[in-house]
Amino acid sequence: MQSWKSHMPKGMFLKSEGFASNLYDPDQAFTLARYCREKNHPYADVGLPVPLEIFAAYGAEFQRRLVPNLEASEISSLRRTAGCFELTTENGEELQALKVIVAAGISYFSHLPAALEHLPGALVTHSSQHSDLSGFRGRRVAVIGAGASAVDAAAILHESGAEVELIARASDIAFHDPPVEPRPLWQQIINPRSTIGLGWRSRLCTDTPLLFHAMPAKFRFRVLKSHLGPAPGWFVKHKVVGHMSMHLGAILTQVVARRDRVFLKLSSRGRDEEIVVDHVIAGTGYRVSLQRLALLDDDLRRQIRAVDEAPVLSRTFESSVAGLYFVGLAAASCFGPLLRFACGAEFTARHLSRHLTRAGRRNP
């Protein structure tokens, strides 16, 4: 849960509906609904956004009840030696394992546009670097992006007393439509609900990840890029529209730092303008890259077959290095958009644990 606790801003709400925000256990007993019922928190399967703080607390309680022997320790190095893997913790402890599952989440893969990479860290940050945006009160901040990360950050910055300039290449912001319940039967048939959204495309992504795996790589990457693109939740629209300057259809043509301020030149719909801000926050999402997984030893990284810097995985999540598995966002290019969401844990856990159990029986 580290990404949720430390890399997302307080005051944020999940885009996923309540029924789609469960963590997975084999009995499917400790759901978010049950946690909220026990703690007397408001909850609805659909239509009531889930606060980040409640989801993070649910995750912590899930771990305490169902994975009590979890050891919280940062792995600083993972390398392959003859016959096994060697792991080193940040405290210098060394471990050996025959198999390793890398479940690194999203925080390693934050993407900063090339136009911003040259700026000093004091002037530009990625949205994942902030768990509390209240420190920007009274400052002028440019937020780059049109997805949930950017728009959520912009809304919270405005509520915290910052002056916000929202900048995006998109010509408009594709807010989700508010859910309407109950839905008539014909709507349920032509536009079925899934844990990642409405529609048959989303339903196929959640129900047939192994079919997605069987598709050609070009098709998989195209679907991953085009389906479920940047789209903030419906519940944040009233917090941003009319409350801040929005520069849509804008391209950054020049970014310069001078005297602790950032000068942004934009070209928007044939019109050029310049914006001067105290700080830039890039809500520009995440891109899987093995190069960014600093814990991987260089020799091990070179042995992992990759396409567009994402690991190529077998039907059982195994990389080209025998015994090394990747799950979560790092596996999305092989198994589809489902793996970008917490709800993808059910398929992953059931499928991978079944494989490991069978492998253990074959090779005791």
pTM of the model: 0.93
Write phi, then psi, for 309 (nearest 5 degrees). Answer: 70, 5
CA distance 7 to 3: 5
> By mean pLDDT, which of 14-28, 115-129, 156-170, 348-362 is the weakest?
348-362
**In a 3-state reduction of DSSP, which class is residue 303?**
helix
- Tally Cβ neighbours within 10 Å of residue 125: 17
Residue whose tokens read 């020799």? 299
- CB-based burial of residue 167 (10 Å sphere; 0-12 exposed, 13-18 middle, 19+ buried)? buried
CA distance 286 to 171: 21
CA distance 177 to 242: 18
Higher pLDDT, 82 or 351: 351
pLDDT for the residue numbered 219: 95
Q: Residue 89 forms beta bridges with which residues?
A: 75
For each of the domains in the chain, give its residue range(s) and CATH number, in order of start.
2-107+290-362 (3.50.50.60), 109-175+231-282 (3.50.50.60)
pLDDT for the residue numbered 82: 85
Mean of pLDDT values over 151-162: 98
Average pLDDT, the chain: 94
Mean of pLDDT values over 62-88: 93
Specify whether the CB–CB gap between 85 and 75 falls below 8 A: no
Q: Residue 236 forms beta bridges with which residues?
A: none
pLDDT for the residue numbered 268: 84
Residue 164: C-alpha distances to residues 137, 154, 182, 247 (Å): 10, 6, 37, 11
Q: What is the pLDDT of residues 38-48, one digit of tens each?
A: 999 999 999 99
Write phi, then psi, for 87 (nearest 5 degrees). Answer: -115, 140
**In a 3-state reduction of DSSP, which class is residue 148?**
helix
pLDDT for the residue numbered 107: 84
| Residue 275 clears pLDDT 70, i.e. is over it | yes
pLDDT for the residue numbered 364: 64
Q: What is the pLDDT of residues 314-347, one digit of tens each?
A: 999 999 999 999 999 999 999 999 999 999 999 9
Mean of pLDDT values over 250-267: 95
| Residue 51 clears pLDDT 80, i.e. is over it | yes
Q: What is the pLDDT of residues 89-103, one digit of tens each?
A: 999 999 999 999 999
CA distance 44 to 335: 29
Share of the chain above pLDDT 90, in %: 90
CA distance 163 to 165: 7
